[in-house]
Amino acid sequence: MVRSKKKFDIIIEGGTLLTMVEGEEPTHNARVIISGDRIEAVSDRQNTPLPETGELINAEGAIILPGLINSHGHSPMTLFRGMADDLPLKSWLFEHIFPAEAKHINPDTVYWASLLACLEMIASGTTTSVDGYFLADAIVKAADKAGMRALVAQGVIDFPAPGVPDPKKNVDVALAFMERWIDLSDLITPGLFCHSPLTCAEKTLQQAHEISTRFDSPLQIHLSETREELTEIRKRTGLRPVFYLDDLGLLHSNVIAAHAIHLNEEEIDLLAERHVKIAHCPESNMKLGCGVAAIGRMLEKGVTVGLGTDGCASNNNLDLFAEMDTAAKLAKVANLDPTLLDARTVLKMATIGGARVIGLEDNIGTIQAGKKADIIIVDANTPHMTPMYNPYSQLVYSATGGDVRDVIINGKIVYRERRFTTLDSEEIMNEVKSLSREIGR
């Protein structure tokens, strides 16, 4: 075979490539060439010369696809995985999670729990996370160490919170966070996360919105997650939550609304009109008994939807493959329609859809020359992945996060043959286990 003389860094050879570019079908026996942090070329390897240099990754018997994007999560909550299961959201949050956070959350626990989240996400194919929590400086440091791409948001809430014992200073802390990290790196984007319209007053919401606008950074918020939220907001304001936020001037293309379950048609229409982005978290919604979001209707109306896991205290894992499977099946059974949210649509939600949620669709979410090299390779040479007629269906309905074999973020291999290259998994897990023993006392 003729070899090209141009130097490259990584060459992925063989396997089935899903670029997730609209209209493109799978490429079999593919080749993806990476130079620096970007994709240099994408082709059928039989029709292009093999470069002389570059680390070679053999993807025979595997599926190559863009890295998955977790559109909503709270990384430090890995620390509370399984601590308060099988409870309604209100009692889960106010009687268990908030008290545990008050007692045990500090910069050290946030850092180690976030590193654990990075381990779990990388090992299951997530290359970009959208995070919102308190003491977010520690999350930034963890994501930076792991080499993950992340939108990390400082939490804002009108209650005493970790790192912000005086709620009157919540916006000041948020502003300082933005100023501190706005120019950290190409991989980390700082942002703000208003907990919900129930836990943030009008002034707080508007001030956080002003800061986000000043820095041109997405503003995250929980929206219409429960019937209780809907009832209380209507009682306070006379408006449904979506119309209340619109009345405050908070609905636009730089807002990411998580959950968005209890919406009527008019609210969905308004979200579409305002180009608000939605983070769909089906497993958390199911586990807390919150309800089923009308994702099919949102997509029909042109709403941009990404897929999120939420935190490990309300989901228990950060596996977006499990989330894809759940999202597809939940929509079908809730609407008694097996054609709703087909596999390809759901995979789009976890890739290019997630990229659009955070405004990075020009850089990530598809495998194309010139885009950032965020790529995962999924082992398809296993019993539960055999035979394979449709790779999209195989990934959504058969694969698990454990099938991820290799992960590349920003042109760097962070997970090779199921081994971490940037993190010490044993050290991180042992540290979190030690922290959990303190919590369990």
Give pLDDT tens digits for 225-245.
999 999 999 999 999 999 999
Query: Quick one: pLDDT at residue 87?
Result: 84
State the average pLDDT over residues 212-224: 97
Q: How many CB atoms lie within 10 A of CB 141?
A: 19
Do 436 and 80 meet the contact criterion of CB atoms below 8 Å apart? no
Q: How many CB atoms lie within 10 A of CB 348?
A: 23
State the average pLDDT over residues 185-203: 96
Do 33 and 39 meet the contact criterion of CB atoms below 8 Å apart? yes
Architecture of the CATH domain 68-357: Alpha-Beta Barrel (3.20)
Residue 3 pLDDT grade (very low, low, confident, very high; cuts 50, 70, 90):
very low
Residue 423 has pLDDT above 80, yes or no: yes
Do 352 and 69 meet the contact criterion of CB atoms below 8 Å apart? no
Q: How many CB atoms lie within 10 A of CB 92?
A: 20
Residue 316: phi and psi, rounded to 5, are 95, -15
Name 64's bridge partners. 17, 377
Residue 100 pLDDT grade (very low, low, confident, very high; cuts 50, 70, 90):
confident
Could you tell me the CA-to-CA distances from 155 to 118, 140, 158, 267, 425 in Å, in that order? Answer: 19, 13, 10, 25, 27
| Beta-sheet strands, E only, within 347-391 | 375-379
| Distance in angstroms (rounded) separating the CA atoms of residues 46 and 66 | 22
| Distance in angstroms (rounded) separating the CA atoms of residues 37 and 271 | 35
User: Could you give the residue ranges of the DSSP H alpha helices within 306-380?
Assistant: 320-335, 343-350, 352-357
Residue 427 pLDDT grade (very low, low, confident, very high; cuts 50, 70, 90):
very high
| Distance in angstroms (rounded) separating the CA atoms of residues 200 and 195 | 7
Tokens matching residue 287? 């586990």
* Structural domain boundaries in the chain: 3-66+363-417, 68-357
Residue at token pair 């539960």 = 384
Specify the DSSP class assigned to residue 341. S
| Distance in angstroms (rounded) separating the CA atoms of residues 439 and 33 | 47
Better pLDDT: 45 or 265: 265
Mean of per-residue pLDDT scores for the chain:
95
Residue 56 has pLDDT above 60, yes or no: yes
Residue 255 burial class via C-beta count within 10 angstroms: exposed 0-12, middle 13-18, buried 19 and up: buried
Specify the DSSP class assigned to residue 24. P
Q: 3-66+363-417: which CATH number, 2.30.40.10, 3.20.20.140, 3.40.309.10, 3.30.70.20?
A: 2.30.40.10
Do 23 and 68 meet the contact criterion of CB atoms below 8 Å apart? no
Tokens matching residue 422? 């940037």
Could you tell me the pTM of the whole model? 0.96
Percent of the chain with pLDDT over 70: 97
CA atoms within 13 A on the CB side of 403: 25
Residue 94 pLDDT grade (very low, low, confident, very high; cuts 50, 70, 90):
confident
